[in-house]
Amino acid sequence: MTLDWERVGRVSPAALVEARETAHHAAQLLALVGASYIPTRADDSHTSMTWLDGAQALTTEIVDTSRPFRVGLRISDLTLLFLDATLREAGVFPLVERTRNEAIAWLRARIGDAGRDGTTMHTSLHFSIAPHATDSGAPFVRHVDALDELARWYADAHVILEARREHTRGAGEVRCWPHHFDIATLVACSSGPFQTIGIGMSPGDSRYREPYLYVGPYPRPTSDVAALEIGHWHTTDWFGAVLTASEIVARESASEQLTLVNRFVDGALDSLASRSGLPGRAPSVSSGEP
């Protein structure tokens, strides 16, 4: 299987923090749309987003109305997209130098045009994330180059995760979660000590101030698991295998980066494989790079 992995590392992983925090807060606008207009689900997936390759954006699920729509966020230039049922751009709103309240007003107007009551759009969520200047009226700022690089991390993660989902029994839809801004597939285990295994990418957080890939079983193992040849086991506050962006970008070509990522995921799953009920892992995939 050949995958289109784009080389990452043009911007240092350590230099993505401000861009990640800004994009995370911009993505809360999409979560507000989901919370307001998509039927509530116990797992909060109605607030989640998916990566849309054609638009190179995170998008909500489709909102049912006389003129169905999705709302997207193009990360590279912090632009809100109002997409119709055919994924045509029916409206765009560049967030740079605009405020959260201005964005909400624009969304409400577009939602009203599409046949839903825009005034019922929420302005807050049932969860909170770390505060940001845009919460208090500061305009959004584009972090040139860093946002482009962050978008590549999401696009590459989507490539890997979709391949895993297609070839792994019990794997769920690839979703980006507004709480932690990670993108992942959750694998349901049919038996054994684990209920689920998450395979995903976080753009960084308070534990790792750079993007990282992870493989996290739930509940955490009650006994030791085999050591990893690539990456390491994170054992404080949550348990999972972690491969940091710094380790990935140390490989110079797209094919080398993709190979490392696949070996990491395979190795983590193999380390857990002695426990029954672990779904079969996806076959190895290769870069589209010649």
For the segment 176-205, what is each residue's pLDDT rounded down to a tens digit? Answer: 999 999 999 999 998 778 999 999 999 999
Which has the closest alpha carbon to 201: 138, 158, 141, 251?
158
pLDDT at 222: 86
pTM of the model: 0.94
**pLDDT 10s digits, 17-74:** 999 999 999 999 999 999 999 999 999 999 999 999 989 999 999 999 999 999 999 9
pLDDT value, residue 275? 55
265 token code pair:
């995921």
* Domain ranges within the chain, ordered by starting residue: 15-136, 146-287
Q: Please, which pLDDT band fits residue 1 given cuts at 50, 70 and 90?
A: very low
* pLDDT at residue 285 tops 90: no
Residues 203, 122: Cα–Cα separation, whole Å = 26
Residue 100 has pLDDT above 70, yes or no: yes
CA–CA gap between residue 181 and residue 165 (Å, rounded)? 19
Contact 199, 184 (CB under 8 A): yes
Instruction: Dump pLDDT digits (tens) for 110-140.
Output: 999 999 999 999 999 999 999 999 999 999 9
Angle between helices 100-113 and 17-37 (to 10 degrees): 40
